Amino acid sequence: MRANRTIFPFLLLLQLSVAQGQDTLSQPTTHQRPNPYRLSWKTEATLLGLVAVSGVSSLLLEQQVQPFTVNDLSRFDRSQVNAFDRSATYKWSPDAFRVSDQTLTANFVATGLIALPTLFRHKNWATVPLMYIEVLALPTLIQQTVKNIVLRTRPYVYNPDAPLDPKLAPNGRQSFFSGHAGTAFASAVFASEMFRHFYPNSKLKPVVWVVMLGLASTTSLMRYEAGYHFPSDILVGAAFGSLAGWWIPKLHEVKKQTGISQRLTIQPWNNGSATGINARLLVFSR
């Protein structure tokens, strides 16, 4: 024993622990998955700055929109609309309009139900809510700005069966692109991505995607049936919203730590007859 103290004053024990299927390196002793998202001043300032600029631009442009007059309506004929979009000029349905709002509200509620357990689980009441505000605000305000620049006539303006009042409102010139479709798909993709990141091993991931995209698709279809949007308006809105719903969480996603400094823990070691260092290398595979 004395020889050990003389010849080996410091004994280094390296314990290699291979943990299969673990999701995190930061909390190897717990089954709780860490928050996959993180706020940063740079990211939030950029996104909220875009929201502010889009909001001001939308407000200023909105004031410049001149509604159609009764005389203007006489020059609209559905034959002027391209073949892909022309079917929308035959649509008018207040019931479909109401359903589009109801399914959009259901989309918001479903997203909240998915997010709520994560808030209690991680005690982080700012990250996910702020991300969701950005997901909703950015595409909504950008599409409103685009609408006020493009001034595309809504399908119901071409429809002689549609009532006169909505044709004479400024909204009759704000067809491109669909705000309902953009907002619905932004919310749907955000909720599905959030669920995937918080519960990567859950078998419910396909169910969440189907339900959320189903609600978004129903909202978009009802806007078409209501006579408020052409198919091209809806496709562009859905694509733009989906991009926002994926991109904003991606910006906040915590990058995986792969450096050895995050995997190696070192502690003093002594068993009464020898002294050394206990180094524990944690190797995790996904």
Confidence of residue 255 (pLDDT cuts 50, 70, 90): confident
**Domains held by the chain: number:** 1
To 5 degrees, how large is the angle CA 225–CA 219–CA 163? Answer: 35
To 5 degrees, how large is the angle CA 161–CA 63–CA 72? Answer: 35
* Per-residue pLDDT reduced to its tens digit, 131-168: 999 999 998 999 999 999 999 999 999 999 999 999 99
Residue 16 falls within a domain, yes or no? no
Residue 197 falls within a domain, yes or no? yes
End-to-end CA distance of the chain: 43
Are 65 and 175 within 8 A, CB to CB? no
Residue 32 falls within a domain, yes or no? no
Residue 218 falls within a domain, yes or no? yes
- Looking at every residue in the chain, the average pLDDT score rounds to 84
* Per-residue pLDDT reduced to its tens digit, 170-215: 999 999 999 999 999 999 999 999 999 999 999 999 999 999 999 9
pLDDT in the model for residue 124: 74
Residue 216 falls within a domain, yes or no? yes
Specify the DSSP element, H or E, that contains 14.
Answer: strand 11-20
Question: One-letter amino acid identity for 2?
Answer: R
Question: One-letter amino acid identity for 230?
Answer: F
What is the total residue count of the chain?
286
DSSP 217-261: HHHHHHHHHTTS--HHHHHHHHHHHHHHHHHHHHHHBPPPP-SGG
87 is in which domain, residue-wise?
41-252
User: How does DSSP classify residue 123?
Assistant: T
Lowest mean pLDDT among 2-11, 73-82, 156-165: 2-11
In the chain, what are the helix, strand and coil shares in percent, each to the nearest 5? 60, 10, 30
Residue 199 falls within a domain, yes or no? yes
Residue 25 falls within a domain, yes or no? no
Query: What share of the chain in percent tops pLDDT 90?
Result: 72
Pairing of strands 275-285, 264-270: antiparallel
DSSP 34-52: PPSB---HHHHHHHHHHHH
| Tokens 């309902």 -> residue | 180
Cα–Cα distance, 99 to 209 (Å, whole number): 21
Q: Which residue from 131, 129, 130, 220 is spatially nearest to 183, judged by alpha carbons?
A: 220
Lowest mean pLDDT among 8-12, 63-67, 85-89: 8-12
H helical segments located in 63-126: 70-73, 94-122
**Residue 122 CB partners (closer than 8 Å, separation 6+):** 34, 35
Strand partners, 12: 277
Cα–Cα distance, 227 to 157 (Å, whole number): 9
Burial of residue 123 (CB within 10 Å: 0-12, 13-18, 19+) is exposed
The pair of three-digit structure tokens given for residue 57, joined into one six-digit string: 């631009």
Residue 122 falls within a domain, yes or no? yes
3-state secondary structure of 269: strand
